[in-house]
């Protein structure tokens, strides 16, 4: 589409297609693949998707993203020559091992139509549309996305038969909307219905996810990399402490911690006082230094 518009000298339209692509790349592909890009998770089980995130998955994700960014730099070259050059050079040797030392000496990218799966693209587009509708329902109900819900009911949709038989796409929709089940129910009144009843078990899981999010942000504030192991210290209400103790193994894996201490300490790199579910909590962490 970019090539077509440029050949017609429709510069603005071509630029808009690139802008849409970059938005999809960052807000969908990279966000959806974030676990695959975390080196310390290479051999961990991805609990959400139920699949092994192994060395091969990590390398494939990096190679795919590298190829995309190299191609993007070529498309950007006529529009933002200096940024395109900086992006191209920052990626080092490109996947085709080109001898060119500048993006402006590269050939314009061409489409291999044999690699385009129109059915899969259509199904993915429908999954994204359904996710958008369900997230809007969450917003209406005032339920945070990190709070798991029991189910999403769907009256009907395009590509329904294919989507119903594609477990990967259904898992993706469940993750995106954060529900336990996807159910196709022709009898419901609206196009979708979201079960917003929060049981104790769902609330417990939601609290854990919120806690993990806060800790990950705290890791970033401390300037830690994903591979850095930490000791976590916390002081929380008794109910939340029991939940953390019950799920301690999972939490340690998620935040890359070797130890959790349930008390205040002055030996930390960074600390935070905040609230979860309107209850005050204190968190701190320090990096484990190998001798």
Same domain, residue pair 133 and 98: no
Residue 1: pLDDT band (50, 70, 90) is: confident
Kindly state the average pLDDT of the residues 207-233: 89
Same domain, residue pair 59 and 155: no
Q: Could you tell me whether strands 230-235 and 257-261 are parallel, antiparallel, or unpaired per DSSP bridges? A: parallel
- Total of domains in the chain: 3
CATH for 133? 3.30.2320
pLDDT number for residue 87: 92
**Structural domain boundaries enclosing 17:** 2-114
Is residue 81 helix, strand or coil? helix
35 contact partners, CB below 8 Å, separation of at least 6: 41, 46, 48, 53
Percent of the chain with pLDDT over 90: 52
| Mean pLDDT, rounded, of the chain | 86
Q: Are 71 and 109 in contact (CB under 8 A)?
A: yes
Helix, strand, coil shares, percent, the chain, to 5: 50, 15, 30
Same domain, residue pair 74 and 107: yes
The whole-model pTM stands at 0.77
Question: For the chain, how many residues are written?
Answer: 291
pLDDT number for residue 97: 53
Kindly state the average pLDDT of the residues 178-186: 93
Q: Is the pLDDT of residue 70 over 60?
A: yes
Q: For residue 199, what is the DSSP state? A: -
Which residue, of 194, 224, 248, is where some domain finishes?
194
Q: Is the pLDDT of residue 52 over 50?
A: no
pLDDT number for residue 44: 40
Same domain, residue pair 134 and 40: no
Per DSSP (E only), the strands in the chain are: 45-46, 51-52, 149-154, 179-184, 192-194, 230-235, 257-261, 270-276, 279-287
Same domain, residue pair 101 and 16: yes
More confident residue, 54 or 113: 113
- Burial of 263-285, coded b for 16+ CB within 10 Å and e otherwise, reads eeeeebbbbbeeebeeeebebbb
Kindly state the average pLDDT of the residues 239-265: 90
Same domain, residue pair 239 and 267: yes
CATH for 100? 1.10.730.10
Dihedral of alpha carbons 120, 126, 132, 135, sign: negative
More confident residue, 226 or 254: 254
pLDDT number for residue 100: 58
Q: Is the pLDDT of residue 49 over 60?
A: no
Say what angle helices 55-76 and 81-90 make with each other, to 10 degrees.
Answer: 160
pLDDT number for residue 157: 86
Same domain, residue pair 94 and 133: no
Percent of the chain with pLDDT over 70: 90
pLDDT number for residue 158: 86
Q: Are 70 and 87 in contact (CB under 8 A)?
A: no
Q: Is the pLDDT of residue 155 over 60?
A: yes
Q: How many angstroms separate the CA atoms of 152 and 177, rounded?
A: 8
Residue 55: pLDDT band (50, 70, 90) is: low
Q: How many angstroms separate the CA atoms of 276 and 278, rounded?
A: 5
């Amino acid at each position: 589409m970019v090539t077509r518009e440029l050949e017609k000298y429709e510069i603005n339209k071509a630029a808009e297609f690139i802008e849409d692509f970059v938005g999809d790349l960052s807000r969908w592909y990279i966000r959806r693949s974030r676990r695959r890009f975390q080196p310390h998770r290479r051999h961990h089980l991805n609990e959400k998707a139920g699949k092994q995130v192994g060395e091969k998955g990590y390398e494939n994700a990096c190679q795919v993203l590298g190829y995309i960014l190299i191609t993007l730099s070529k498309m950007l070259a006529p529009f933002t020559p200096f940024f395109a050059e900086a992006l191209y050079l920052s990626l080092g040797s490109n996947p085709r091992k080109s001898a060119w030392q500048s993006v402006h000496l590269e050939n314009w990218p061409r489409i291999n139509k044999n690699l385009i799966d129109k059915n899969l693209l259509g199904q993915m587009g429908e999954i994204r549309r359904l996710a958008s509708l369900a997230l809007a329902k969450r917003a209406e109900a005032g339920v945070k996305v990190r709070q798991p819900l029991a189910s999403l009911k769907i009256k009907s949709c395009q590509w329904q038969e294919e989507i119903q038989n594609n477990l990967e796409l259904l898992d993706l929709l469940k993750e995106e909307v954060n529900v336990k089940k996807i159910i196709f129910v022709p009898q419901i009144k609206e196009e979708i219905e979201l079960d917003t009843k929060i049981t104790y078990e769902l609330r417990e899981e939601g609290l854990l996810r919120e806690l993990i999010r806060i800790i990950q942000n705290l890791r970033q504030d401390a300037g830690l990399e994903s591979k850095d192991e930490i000791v976590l210290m916390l002081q929380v209400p008794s109910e939340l402490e029991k939940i953390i103790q019950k799920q301690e193994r999972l939490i340690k894996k998620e935040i890359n911690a070797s130890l959790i201490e349930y008390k205040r300490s002055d030996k930390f790199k960074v600390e935070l006082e905040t609230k979860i579910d309107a209850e005050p909590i204190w968190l701190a962490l320090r990096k484990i230094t190998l001798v």
